[in-house]
Amino acid sequence: MGFPVPEPFCWDVSFRTFYTMVDDQHKCLFNGIFNLAKDSSDDSLNELQRVVGQHFLDEQRLMDTSQYAGKAAHQKLHDDFIAVLAKGNVDIDYAKNWVVNHIKGVDFGYKGCL
Ligand code: FEO
């Protein structure tokens, strides 16, 4: 269910939020999961955790700055995904679906509001 997951797993213009920093960071999330799928090493997982953590912090900062009303609920979703990654042994299909559906189903809600 939900939005279709691109294969190969790469960002495309259908994911565009029109915030340059956000779009660039979303590309890094796609790359991080793509790389973890190819190489399930600790290094790949650590890199994915790093780019995810940085993106969520920056995105939440944008929401703070613009006093975006949906910030608390949005941050809870971020925290839950961070917790999944922190457990290790990441289900790649889950991660792909989460990122695709989070961007199109949740992040898109702030388009034009930040
Ligand atoms: Fe772009 Fe809410 O993550």
Domains contained in the chain, CATH given: 18-110 (1.20.120.50)
Q: Which residue type occupies 1? A: M
The minimum-distance atom of ligand 1 relative to the CA of 26 is 1
Cβ(8)–Cβ(30) under 8 Å?
A: no
CA–CA separation, 78 vs 8, rounded Å? 24
Whether the predicted model's global pTM rises above the 0.85 cut: yes
Q: Three-state DSSP class for 7?
A: coil
Q: Which residue is listed with tokens 């922190």? A: 86
Share of the chain above pLDDT 90, in %: 99
Segment 14-51, tens digit of pLDDT? 999 999 999 999 999 999 999 999 999 999 999 999 99
Q: Is 59 in the pocket of ligand 1 (CB under 6 A)?
A: yes
Give the count of alpha carbons within 13 A of 60, CB side only.
14
* The ligand 1 atom nearest the CA atom of 56: 3
Matching residue, tokens 């925290």: 79
- pLDDT at residue 1 tops 90: no
Q: Is 96 in the pocket of ligand 1 (CB under 6 A)?
A: no
